[in-house]
Each structure stands twice: as structure tokens, then as C-alpha cells.
Amino acid sequence: MPFCTQCGRPLAEGETCECRSANAQAAPDAAPQQPYNPPNSYPPPQAPYGGQPYPAYGQMPPQKKSNAWILAIIIPAICVVLLLMLAILLPASMGYVKRSNQVSHNSYANTMCKAANTAMVELDEQGEKLKGQYIISSDSDKNLAVPFNIGKFNTAMEKYLTDKPDYEYFMVIKDGTVQYIAISESWDSKKDIKATCPSARSGPRYYDQYGSGDEAKSTVTLTELYRYALKKAYT
């Protein structure tokens, strides 16, 4: 048995399905299908920022002038000025520090001299023998001809020294009066600051039993000052 190819209804021999004639009549009434045109989703091109037009093709926009050459001149000039100032100020600063240290050492030598003389007065009141010329030193091997107990002297002197820097020293004493003191951080260093009492304006002095001796060089050692004093005191 045949069937309709459109709707599937069974047909008799030679019969035509009515659905074909119905479709044929409805087809002219259908509206023709229009082609689909999608909407344009891209916005129109905008003008550049500030409303300025785009530059013409092949034309570069104007560039700002560079100030790098100014920096290339100013920075080296500033460096040169700073180096010149450093070259001037550094030696002056070092000289000031050296003079300040020398003044500090001279001041302590003077303080030590006063403390030693006060200790001598105290020993004299205790009945100690003070006559003669002798040397008292921070190095016991350099003590010479001391007529009294050095331990008593050191104890008495420490009472009058508020500050006790770690100095090496020696002092020349005659009849209970300190004639000369020399101090330094070490005995044999030429670089260490040496100070004496009596002192010079810019450094130490040599010992002289009749007053202030000659001014010594800053490179003189404490050992050299000691040997000079020993020679002058006992010859």
C-alpha cells in the first residue's frame, strides 16, 4: 500500500493526497523571506583626545624638546664643586681635630702636674723624705732614685685625678716639686700625641731643669723625651 510522502497517510492505488494541494495553495500566500542583515556592532571612529585630528598618513606627530643636555652640564658641574669643597674642608677638619686632641692632652698633663704636687704636700705632711732629684714613671723600670714609697705617692695622686686616661708618663721631681711631666698613649709611637708640662703651643717640650725647654717635634717619642730628661737631670 502506498503512503503520502508529505504526511504519511495511506493512499489507494492512483490516489493523490490532499496535503499536497493544500501546501500548493498556501505557498503563494507566504511572505517572501528577507535576507538577514546583522546590525553593525562597531561604533564609528572617534576623534583623538582633545578633538585634534589624526595626523596624515606618513606624517609623524611633533616631538617635545629634550632637556637632557642641561642635566649633562649641571650634574658634572655640581660634582666638581663638591669635590673642591671636600678638598678644602677635609684638611682643615683634620687639622682642627689634631689641634683639639693636642689641647686636651696638654690640659691633662697640666692637671696631672697639679695632682702630683698636691700628693707631694700630703707625703710631706706624713713625714716622707722628699729631698733630692728623682723620676717617677708609669713604667716601674724607669723609676729612678725615688726616696719614698711610690705606692703611697700613687695612692695620694689618684685622689686628685678625677679622670684617669690610660697614659704612659714620667715626671721629674726635685725636692718635692714636680719640674716636668710628659705623657703619651705609648712609649715608642711617633704618631701618638705627646704632651708635657710645661707645654708648647703646638706640641711637647724637652725637659730643662732651669725652666721650659726647647719645643720638640710632634714625631718625638715618649722614650726619647725620657732619655733627654735623664741626660739633662743627671749630667
Predicted confidence (pLDDT) per residue in 152-205, tens digit: 999 999 888 877 778 999 999 999 999 999 999 999 999 999 999 998 877 899
Assigned domain for 171 exists: yes
Assigned domain for 145 exists: yes
Residue 184: closest CA among 169, 198, 203: 169
User: Can you point out the beta strands (E) in the chain?
Assistant: 133-137, 168-174, 177-184, 195-197
Instruction: Report the pLDDT value the prediction gives residue 235, as an integer from 0 to 100.
Output: 80
Assigned domain for 18 exists: no
Q: Is the pLDDT of residue 31 over 60?
A: no
Instruction: Report the pLDDT value the prediction gives residue 162, as an integer from 0 to 100.
Output: 76
* Residue 215: domain span: 84-233
Calculate what percentage of the chain has a pLDDT beyond 70.
74
| Number of domains, the chain | 1
Predicted confidence (pLDDT) per residue in 104-149, tens digit: 899 999 999 999 999 999 999 999 999 999 999 999 999 999 999 9
Assigned domain for 35 exists: no
Assigned domain for 221 exists: yes
Assigned domain for 70 exists: no
Instruction: Report the pLDDT value the prediction gives residue 141, as an integer from 0 to 100.
Output: 96
Assigned domain for 21 exists: no
Which grid coordinates belong to 64? Answer: 617635545
Which grid coordinates belong to 43? Answer: 561604533
Q: Return the H-helix or E-strand segment holding 77.
A: helix 68-125
Do 175 and 130 touch, CB atoms closer than 8 A? yes
Instruction: Report the pLDDT value the prediction gives residue 43, as an integer from 0 to 100.
Output: 58
101 pLDDT band (50/70/90 cuts)? confident
- Give the predicted TM-score (pTM) of the model: 0.61
Assigned domain for 172 exists: yes
Residue whose cell numbers read 669643597: 85
16 pLDDT band (50/70/90 cuts)? confident
Which grid coordinates belong to 186? Answer: 705609648
- Dihedral of CA atoms 74, 80, 81, 84 in degrees, nearest 10, equals 180
